[in-house]
Amino acid sequence: YTSSSDLKAFERRLTEYIACLQPATGRWRMILIVVSVCTATGAWNWLIDPETQKVSFFTSLWNHPFFTISCITLIGLFFAGIHKRVVAPSIIAARCRTVLAEYNMSCDDTGKLILKPRPHVQ
């Protein structure tokens, strides 16, 4: 048995926490988009360069520092866990749904609680 004030306090804290993650998530998404576009642009320039086919792989990378640096940055971001940071609020909400299912509840992506009807036992 849980009082409604406890549920309201939990919901308030959950929505506050998810809302607090949103600005950082937005910044990480912008960083990922910018680095991805830079990598794609650099890759295109690297691939259409006729010299790329004539020289060794490492020489071609040396000749295209923009692509090389942006590619290394993108790989570094993934090793640093950017793929988890851009979806952090969704991960938190999904984990809460898993726990709340035990109590016949759920929550939306903003952290608002959803009370499900109790199953009727006959």
Look at residue 33 and tell me if it is in a domain.
yes
- Looking at the domain assignment, is residue 6 inside a domain? yes
Residue 51 lies in a domain: yes
> Is residue 122, in this structure, part of any structural domain at all?
no
Q: Is residue 121 part of a domain?
A: no
Q: Is 120 contained in some domain? A: no
Cα 84 off chain centre by: 5
Q: What is the mean pLDDT of residues 33-53?
A: 95
Q: How confident is the model at residue 20, as a pLDDT?
A: 94
DSSP string for residues in 38-103: HHHHHHHHHHH-THHHHS-HHHHHHH-HHHHHHHHHHHHHHHTTHHHHTTHHHHHHHHHHHHHGGG
Range of the structural domain that residue 31 is part of = 1-115
Confidence at 116, pLDDT banded by 50, 70, 90: confident
Q: Answer yes or no: is 110 within a domain.
A: yes
Statement: residue 88 has pLDDT above 80? yes
pLDDT above 90: residue 37:
yes
| Number of structural domains in the chain | 1
Would residue 100 count as lying in a domain? yes
**Residue partners of 2: CB distance under 8 A and separation at least 6:** 103
Mean pLDDT over all residues of the chain?
92
pLDDT at 1 over 80: no
